[in-house]
Structure 1
Amino acid sequence: MATQIVMDHTGDTRHEFDANDARALLEAERRFEQLTGAGFTAAIRNSSGDPTVTRRFDPKAEETLFYPRLVGG
């Protein structure tokens, strides 16, 4: 199971999906587009375990983290 983790002011929400299920994959891709379109940054872990910002949905990513745009003050 792949996981999309959405961080926001309430904490985090996890959305798990089966990358082999076409309907679940489509829903995950729509969520990716919706969140990044709303200003969230998406990051996946690379092979060494470090987070890497991504601008495209990767159906093979085991975990994608979304965090909101930071606003300085």
Structure 2
Amino acid sequence: METVGAYEAKTHLTQLLKRVAKGEKITITKHGIPVATLQPADSSKKMPVREIIDQLKRFRSGHRLDGLSIRDMIEEGRR
């Protein structure tokens, strides 16, 4: 893992991001002390849109408002 100073990181951010997109990890230091790490985003956390919609539908089917209107909820929140 490469280490770069904060000033260099600020000056060359575009180039650093290109390297990170290719899989590199880069530590940013301030006065020689590590303060941040640039690393590729975790793409495994992305879920297909269809799956998210299905989860929302399942959630909605199990949670009802029992006749409450939005206006009732707003008024309840103001008390």
Would the TM-score normalized by the shorter structure come out above 0.5? no
Structure with greater strand percent: 1
TM-score (norm 1): 0.30
For the pair shown, the structure with the greater C-alpha radius of gyration is 2
TM-score (norm 2): 0.28
Which structure is richer in relative contact order (CA contacts within 8 A, separation 6 or more)?
1
Structure with greater helix percent: 2
